[in-house]
Amino acid sequence: MTLRLILTRHAKSSWDDPLMSDHDRPLNERGKAAAADLGNWLASRGYVPDQVLCSDALRTRKTWSGIAPALPGTPILELKPALYHAGPDVMLAVLRHATGQTVMMIGHNPGIAEFAHRIVARAPLNPDFQRYPTGATLVVDFAADSWADVAWSMGSVDDFIIPRELAV
């Protein structure tokens, strides 16, 4: 059996209100557009999650809200407070409890970048993979029957994109 992970860093967020808590920062206009572009890209490639594991921060939830309208069906959305600024080990622990065959995880740097590097056997050649900028999305497959069996360096990269590459 093949399991697929779609790993997305939240889209560009707003820093307009310096008194706002980090957890409550919304997306800026560029981030909203990028989320919609990512949704269209995912749909055009057939990368459709049946489960979404999302940090409970506003910017990750709004990233999902921007992606979702382009996708067919209604994946199960699970807000995961543990994913808020999670390190790679926490992210892997959350992923190991997933139940979908295609799971999307939406999180934050620096943890998501390190997680992406550690979960794949071979990194994509895209130079932006190293820094995993806002909206970066990795699609990776695992030859496993259960997410509980997924381990570091086990993933095979299918695709990697950043929103700047999608902008017209």
Instruction: Identify the pLDDT of residue 96.
Output: 98
Mean pLDDT of 145-151: 98
- The Cα–Cα gap between 4 and 16 comes to 36
- 168 pLDDT above the threshold of 90: no
Mean pLDDT of 8-26: 91
Instruction: Identify the pLDDT of residue 20.
Output: 84
Mean pLDDT of 57-82: 96
Of 12-16, 100-104, 123-127, the one with minimum mean pLDDT is 12-16
- 167 pLDDT above the threshold of 80: no
CATH number for 2-165: choose from 3.40.50.1240, 3.40.50.10470, 2.60.120.260, 3.30.9.90. Answer: 3.40.50.1240
- The Cα–Cα gap between 39 and 16 comes to 25
Q: What pTM value is reported for the model?
A: 0.97
Task: Residue 88: name the closest of 118, 61, 60 by CA.
Answer: 118
- 31 pLDDT above the threshold of 70: yes
User: Which residue ranges make up each domain of the chain?
Assistant: 2-165
Q: How far is CA 124 from the centre of its chain?
A: 16
Mean pLDDT of 1-19: 93
pLDDT band at 39 (very low <50, low <70, confident <90, very high): very high
- 164 pLDDT above the threshold of 90: yes
Mean pLDDT of 134-145: 98
Mean pLDDT of 151-159: 98
Mean pLDDT of 72-89: 95
Cα angle 147, 149, 155 (rounded to 5 degrees) comes to: 80
Check the CA dihedral 50-51-55-61 and report its sign.
positive
pLDDT band at 54 (very low <50, low <70, confident <90, very high): very high
